[in-house]
Structure 1
C-alpha cells in the first residue's frame, strides 16, 4: 500500500515517528500523524492551520492529553489537599531538570532511538486512507486521504483533538474532500 502514497503522504507517515519521539511517546498514534500533516506543505496542512490546527497548538494539546493520562499527577486533587503542583513541578525541574515529573514507570523518557510502532488505531486510519482514495476514484494516496482516514472515526485521538480545538470535524472532512476533488491534495 505504501507504494501508492505520494511524497506528502509519505512525509506525514514518517514525520509521525519524529512527532511521537519528540513527545516521548512509545507508539505512533493518529494524533502524531495529524501533527505531522499540520507541519507539512500544501493545501491540506494549510487547511489545518487555517482552522488553528498549527503544529505548535497540536503539540501542546497532545502533550496536555498525555500528561492527563493514566498515572499522571492530578493538579485538582493535589490542590484539594494543599499541594500546588506547579510549585512542585518548578522545584523538581530546578533540581532534576526539565520534564523530570513527566517520566512514567515503564516508559522511557523521550526515546531517541529505535523503532516506534504504530498503534492499532493509526494503522486502521492508514487503511481507511486507501478506502477514501478508492471512494474518490483516485489511484494515489495523498495527504488529504490520510487526513480523511484520521477523521473517519469521531472517537479516534486525532478526531477528538480536532473537535476539542473547536473545529467542526464534519466541515473539515468536507473541505478536505473538496480539496482532493479540485487540487488533488
Structure 2
C-alpha cells in the first residue's frame, strides 16, 4: 500500500503478529495509510533506519538524512518475545531510542516499553519531523499524553547532534 506523497518520512512496520490485533498500534498505522505493512524482513528498505531496542547505537538528529532518503522502520512484536527476534537479519541502520516513558494503556509509565506507534513518533520527533509525529499520536486518545510525559527529554534529544550528547541528556532525565 502506498503512502501519501506529502509524508516527509516513509514509515514501515514489520509485522510479526504476536500481539492482540485489537491493541496493535502498528496495524492502525497501516489502516490509516500512515505506514507500509511488511511481513518479510527482506522487504524493508536497505539503508533506512530500523528501530531496534537492542541496538548498540542510539538515534540522534544526525540520522535525519537516512530517514528522509530511505525511511524509518519498526518491528511490531510482543515485548515478551522481543528477545527472540533475529534482529541481525533485519536490514537497515539499527538504532535504539533514548529512554522515554510509555503512555499507552498497557505499559503506562514504564521506561522504554513503548508501543510501535510511540517508538515511531518519538523517532520522528527526535529527527525533527514533529508534525508527522503528532499526526501519528492523534490516532489514540492517549497519544497526546505521550508528548506530555516526554516533552522535555524529547526536546533535549532532538537538540543533541552527537551520540554523547544524547547519552548525557538521557542520564540527566533518567539517572
TM over 0.5: no
Pick the structure with more strand per residue.
2
Q: TM-score range by the shorter chain?
A: under 0.3
Q: TM-score, normalised to structure 1's length?
A: 0.27
Normalised to the residue count of structure 2, the TM-score between the two structures is 0.28
Larger radius of gyration: 1
More helix, by proportion: 1
